[in-house]
Chains A and B, each alone.
Chain A
Amino acid sequence: NAGVTQTPKFRILKIGQSMTLQCAQDMNHNYMYWYRQDPGMGLKLIYYSVGAGITDKGEVPNGYNVSRSTTEDFPLRLELAAPSQTSVYFCASRLDRTKDGYTFGSGTRLTVV
């Protein structure tokens, strides 16, 4: 199993540009999450999904959008990138809410200049 796959690994964006961070899992997990990790801070939840067609906001959703058209994929869209969105983004999944352990992807390091 590949687990959770994130692409790209690195990206530099100019202010105002848009991009999509890709996340795919092959474990048939229902729950998927997007977190951002800033230096010296704990992971903060951006958006989550409990199944295909269902998404909801986390703690820091402003400036982001998501979709969940399939169980496997959970892309994160950044519109009008801002320097404050410079961070490392992690996608995670788990089977359901009774299984507390996340499986994380390896992250996408995004810099907005």
Chain B
Amino acid sequence: KNQVEQSPQSLIILEGKNCTLQCNYTVSPFSNLRWYKQDTGRGPVSLTIMTFSENTKSNGRYTATLDADTKQSSLHITASQLSDSASYICVVPSGGTYKYIFGTGTRLKVLA
């Protein structure tokens, strides 16, 4: 069964600290994986996309990694800011026009 699982479910860190969010997927065939950030009361916004051949990609303080062999991706946030408080969602397409599998997300809270 195609699945996307994220961990941890929630995370609390102090401002300025780093953190890493995990995404494990069992989707096959695999083409790409995308990380979204969802602020409270808002729709998700794309942070980055990882294709099959990519291992690491950075977008400012966000760095995503992909290991297609172990079917794992991580999102590393450096020097966290209060504005990083949000849910982070991992999404993998599962073939077909509409078959995108959304993870349940990691809810991150950054404290001052």
Count of residues in B whose CB is under 8 Å from the partner chain: 20
Q: Say whether B46 contacts A48, CB under 8 Å.
A: no
Question: B49–A104 contact, CB under 8 A?
Answer: no
Check if A107 sits within 8 Å of B98, measured CB to CB: no
Interface size on A, residues (CB 8 A): 24
B43 and A58 form a contact (CB under 8 A): no
Chain A-chain B contacts (Cβ-Cβ < 8 Å), number? 47
With A42-B104, A48-B97 as contacts: A100 and B34 at CB distance below 8 Å: yes
Chain B facing A: main interface SS:
strand
Instruction: Give Cα distance in the complex from A105 to B102, angstroms.
Output: 17
Q: Are A90 and B98 in contact (CB under 8 A)?
A: no
| B93–A100 touching, CB < 8 Å | yes
A104 to chain B, nearest CB (A): 3
B12 within 8 A of A: no
> Which residues in A have their C-beta under 8 angstroms from that of B98?
33, 45, 48, 56, 58
What are 10 contact pairs spanning A and B, CB under 8 A?
A: A31-B97, A42-B101, A43-B102, A44-B102, A58-B98, A100-B49, A100-B93, A101-B34, A102-B44, A106-B43
Chain B interface residues toward A at CB < 8 A: 4, 32, 34, 41-46, 49, 89, 93, 97-98, 100-105
Chain A contacts to B: CB under 8 angstroms? 4, 31, 33, 35, 40-45, 48, 50, 56, 58, 90, 92, 97, 100-102, 104-107
